[in-house]
Structure 1
Amino acid sequence: MNKPTEAELEILALLWEMKEASVRQIHDRLAATKETGYTTTLKIMQIMHAKGMVIRDEQNRSHIYRPTTNQKDTQNSLLKNLVSTAFGGSSKSLVMQALGQENPSKDEIDEIRAFLDQLENKPK
């Protein structure tokens, strides 16, 4: 899988949420929160199509784009790459760094603890 750029990941997140969309629909969502031009959105989505990150239905005047990978697979791939390159392969270092940067709420800590308990009790 090609590693998406920050801009590509932003578009993928919208496509995962919307399931499919035209360039105009994606651009309108992006423009609601940041300064961006329609032609920039179009160009990024064309590049994503060339990279195989999205497929394009060209039957109508407005092309409709769909992601080729799901969110979980993309997140797993990016996380493996991050752990490998930035944390020397250590999941523990990643988790310790992430928790040290934030102030997790009691509910978040309880969720993390429950997840760790689930991991611990998983059959090998």
Structure 2
Amino acid sequence: MARPTKERDPSQPEPTEAELLLLRVLWKNGPSSVRQVWEETGSKGSYTTVLKQFQVMHEKGLLARDDSAKIHVFSAAVPEQKVKRSLLGRLMTQMFEGSAAQLALGALSTRKVSAEERAEIRKLLDELDRKDGNA
């Protein structure tokens, strides 16, 4: 079976691991200053490193900046779910030959799955069956 290929959409930049760390803070806390995010990340690295990362992320379209006040406030310009779907899609294509089943089985085999997580998975599968008319 040929490996499915998916061209990356340049209008949807994929964040690096370091950028994801900063985006997670913004998704969790909402619009924030560089200092607030730097402090939230446990002051890892220097303040100026976070500032530079924010500038790069803004140029890439990952962040929006409100510079109407003295202190610039940044917010995520991309929704968390959109980024997760994009990264999962790339992982599924690159590592699991496009198979959602293999991705799910791989994820579920890496650690113990709680009863609550299993219930969520069953609920999702039931919803998918209903949408497909299989239930």
Same fold (TM over 0.5): yes
Q: Is the 8 A contact 1:30 1:36 kept in 2?
A: no
Deviation of residue 83 (structure 1)?
A: 0.7
Match of 2:19 among 8, 29, 34: 8
1:74 aligns with 2:83: yes
Q: What is the aligned partner in structure 1 of residue 58 from structure 2? A: 49
Match of 2:129 among 116, 120, 123: 120
TM-score normalized by structure 1? 0.91
Q: What is the aligned partner in structure 2 of residue 39 from structure 1? A: 48
Deviation of residue 106 (structure 1)?
A: 2.2
Say if 1:57 and 1:107 are closer, same or farther in 2 by CA, change over 3 A.
closer
Deviation of residue 44 (structure 1)?
A: 0.8
1:107 aligns with 2:116: yes
Instruction: Name the count of aligned residue pairs.
Output: 122
Match of 1:92 among 101, 104, 115: 101
Q: RMSD value over aligned CA atoms?
A: 1.4
Q: Is the 8 A contact 1:11 1:26 kept in 2?
A: yes
Separation of aligned partners in 1, 2:23 and 2:54:
10
Q: Percent identity?
A: 37
Q: What is the aligned partner in structure 2 of residue 21 from structure 1? A: 32
1:59 aligns with 2:75: no
Judging by fraction of residues, say which structure has more helix.
1
Which structure is richer in relative contact order (CA contacts within 8 A, separation 6 or more)? 2
The residue type paired with residue 71 of structure 2 is S
Secondary structure, counterpart of 1:55 in structure 2? strand
The one-character-per-residue Cα deviations of 1:98-124 (angstroms, maximum 9, x if unpaired) are 111111122222221121111111146
